[in-house]
Amino acid sequence: MNRQVLITALVLTLFAAIGGGLVSYTEQSTASQIRVNDKMMLLHSLKSLLPAQRYDNDLASSAISIAPHQLLGTTKTSRAYSATKNTDTVAFIFNVIANNGYNGKIYLLIGVYTDGSIAGVRVVRHKETPGLGDAIDENRSSWILNFNQHSLSSLTEKQWKVKRDGGYFDQFTGATITPRAVVNAVHNTLLYYQQHKAVLLQATTKPVSPKE
């Protein structure tokens, strides 16, 4: 009887060990695949932000570290990417978080030309409601392209809002919270750039380690 209990316990332990090993292996291989996918999506988004003829460097390898800043919605060090042409800096692409989306944080890439005008804005991650707030996604609507070329001088402070709040940018039918959060984040990024332009232009572009 005791022998049978012992055998059963051993078999169960063996199955538990094999199961645990399989879970851990799957987790590890999935995590590395997710990193590869994230990198590919980042490259795709970076490339879609700037017209190819405007820069000649490898954007993904030109990351600079940006200290956390309220205007960028960040609480940890983030990355910005500098675009250069013939070694002259032509634009910066910031990782920005709009913390006041309808369903939480909206992660954005915001490209700003050195003259302070918007090169492009892309939503890289969000949880906004399909059919309502998700029109911020370029795959759903062209709304996000309305920021192109705008700057702190092309629109007044009051215009950097959705129409419902007296501003320039359309909201969506039945969904004002999401576009309001994005407009606010883009405006804040331009303010950040205005305040940090000199330091950014002086920053030496050096690759950062993937863990940074």
Ligand X SMILES: Cc1cc2nc3c(=O)[nH]c(=O)nc-3n(C[C@H](O)[C@H](O)[C@H](O)COP(=O)(O)O)c2cc1C
- Chain residues binding ligand X by CB under 6 A are 102-103, 128-129, 132-133, 164, 171, 174-178
For residue 27, the minimal CB distance to ligand X (Å) is 31
Is 146 or 176 the residue whose CB approaches ligand X more closely? 176
Is 129 or 205 the residue whose CB approaches ligand X more closely? 129
For residue 174, the minimal CB distance to ligand X (Å) is 5
Is 166 or 210 the residue whose CB approaches ligand X more closely? 166
For residue 139, the minimal CB distance to ligand X (Å) is 16
Residue 181: which residues within 8 A CB-CB, separation 6 or more?
A: 98, 99, 100, 101, 102, 106
DSSP string, 134-181: GGGSTTT-SGGGGGTT-BTTTS-TTTSSBGGGTSSB--BTTB-HHHHH
For residue 134, the minimal CB distance to ligand X (Å) is 7
b/e map 49-65, b = 16+ CB within 10 Å: bbeeeebebebeebbbe
Is 79 or 165 the residue whose CB approaches ligand X more closely? 165
